[in-house]
Amino acid sequence: MDLRATETGDTKDVATVGRLRDTEMDGMEDVATAEHGSNIQNISSAMKLVLETLGEDTSRDGLRKTPERFAKAIVSLTSGYNLNPVNILKDAIFEEDCHDLVVVKDISFSSLCEHHLLPFFGKAHIGYIANGRVVGLSKPARVVNVFAKRLQLQERLTKQVAQCLFDVVQPRGVAVAIESTHMCMAMRGVEKIGSSTMTTCFLGEFEKVGDAREEFWRALGK
């Protein structure tokens, strides 16, 4: 079905198209839980004011539900504030005769830059040198998700992931490298589409440049 509006002057047809678009978009929106109801209402009211300040008509079909959609989206994108990454790790630590490097790489993530509320996204790579204990393989990725679902700086995100793993799992060392693309560089300011940023954090035995770091970079193909 072609739902594109044409300049026919038939307002009834355009309105129908708008309602169909609303239905399709509602199906793709994150469902906000009841506990966030008041937050969603407050954010929705604020976004409605922003749109009206820009000169938009928030009663037209294309924008009628936009404030609420935005509110649900921002609540979902910052859901990490309600999660404790320590609990994710501590229930999945296993005693094991392992003292070698464990690497989980290419962990995809997305987050919001706290400066402009624009997305940045990419991949995180995590390595740790076990000290007789290992953590479930999915848990480092879950820790990345928890910290990424907050207003962030890439530098802080990198350090938070590394420090959390180091404190809770207590390995001999932790290495975290994050590569990402920032929309605040691509869509505004210098407008450099295709640029990327890498940040690292090394703790424990990784702090000194040496065999441990080299093994980590080799595992990443760097």
Just list the catalytic residues: 113-116, 154, 182, 184
| DSSP code, position 190 | T
Residues 6+ apart with CB under 8 A from 127: 101, 102, 103, 104, 174, 175, 176, 206, 216, 219
Q: In one letter, which amino acid is 37? A: G
Strand partners, 180: 122, 197
Three-state SS at 107: strand
Helix (H) or strand (E) holding 120, with range, is strand 119-129
Residues 6+ apart with CB under 8 A from 2: none
